[in-house]
Structure 1
Amino acid sequence: MGSPSGPEPVFATDSLGSGNKHAPVLRFFVPFLAPIVQVRLPSRPAVVRPIGSFSRRLPALAALALAALLPGVVAAADIAPAAFEAVGHTYAVDFGGGNAFDIRFDSDREMTFTKRQPPGQGQVETVRFRHRRLREGLYLVYWQEADRTSVVHVEDFARGTIYTNITRPDGSFFNGQSPLTKIQ
C-alpha cells in the first residue's frame, strides 16, 4: 500500500526488472543500502533516492559495502548503536607511508590522534566521530576533519585489525589496513 509520499520502499531483490541495466548491481547492494537510501520500485525501472544528504552518507555507504564483505558481519539492517568498547583506551596503528598514529578514544564521540612518524611526528588532532556496532567487537567509525577529509574505519577489536578509507579534499583516496594494538 502506498504512503502520501509515494509507494512504500521495496527492498526485494527479485523485484528489480531485467530491463534495468543497473539491476544486477542493485540486486547485490539493496540489502546493504536499505538503511541509507530508499529504493522505490514503481512501474518504471528502480529509482534510488538518498535519505538525507547523500554527501554526508557517502562515507558510511562505502564502509557498509566494505563491512558487508568481512566475515561474520551481520546484515546492514541489523546495525544498531551500542556502547563503544574502546572508550578510555589507546591503540597504535600503522597504515604505512608515514601514516602511523596512536588513537586515544576519549569518549564514544571524541578521539585524539598523535602522529608517530615524521613528517609531523608528535602532531595531535582531536576529532568528533560517530560509530555503529556491526557485531561484537566490530565497529564502523566515521568522521569528517576540519579540512573536509572524510575518514571511515572498520575497527575490529576482537581480531585486532583496523581498515581505513580516506577521501581527501582533492578527491584522492587512501585505503589501508593495520594491526590494531592496544597500548593503554
Structure 2
Amino acid sequence: MKQSEVKNRIIETASYLFYKNGYNLTGINEIISETGIAKATLYNHFKSKEDICLAYLQFKNTSFLKDIETYTATKQKGKDQILAIFDFLNLFFMDKDFNGCWCIKTVSEIPRDNDRIRTEIQSQKNSFIQLINTLITDNLEGLSKTQTESLARQIYLLYESAVGESHLHQADWPIKESKNLCTIILN
C-alpha cells in the first residue's frame, strides 16, 4: 500500500473515532487497531496525537466546505442560495452519524493554551464566514463591505447555534428556527 494511502486511512479512521467518541476518549492504540497498522507506521506519518487531530480537522473542514459550496451552488440565485446553508445543515443533521460540530467538540476537549489546535479551528470558522460572505456578495446587491461582513457573521452565528442546539435537543427545530431568523434578517 502506498504511503499516501496509509496516511489517508489513518486520517479517515481517526476522523471517525474523534467525531464519534471525542478527542480525549480516542487513544493512539485505538486508532492503530482500527486502522490495522503497526505503531511505527502511525508514527512515520504523524509525530503526535495532536498532529493527527490537526489532520482530522483539516480533513473534515475540506469536505464540509466543498460539500456546502456544491450544495448551495445548485440552488436558485438570491436569498435562497444563502438560506440553503440551513437546508444543507438539516441534511447533515438527518445523517445517522450526526454528532454536532467537530470543531466545537474538539476545542472543548483541549487545554486553553493549545494554540495549534485552537488556531486551526479559528481558521476553519473564519473560512466558513468567508464562504457566507461570498454567498452574500454573489446574491445580494446594495450592501457595503462592512454590511456584508456583519451580515455574514450574523448568519454564521445562527448556523453555529443551530448545529449545537440540534445536537443537544436531537431535533431539527433549531435549524428551522435559525433559517426563519435568517430569512427575517435577509428581508
In proportion to residue count, which structure has more strand? 1
Which has the larger helix fraction?
2
TM-score, reference length from structure 2: 0.26
TM-score by length of 1: 0.26
Which one scores higher on RCO, CA 8 angstroms, separation ≥ 6?
2
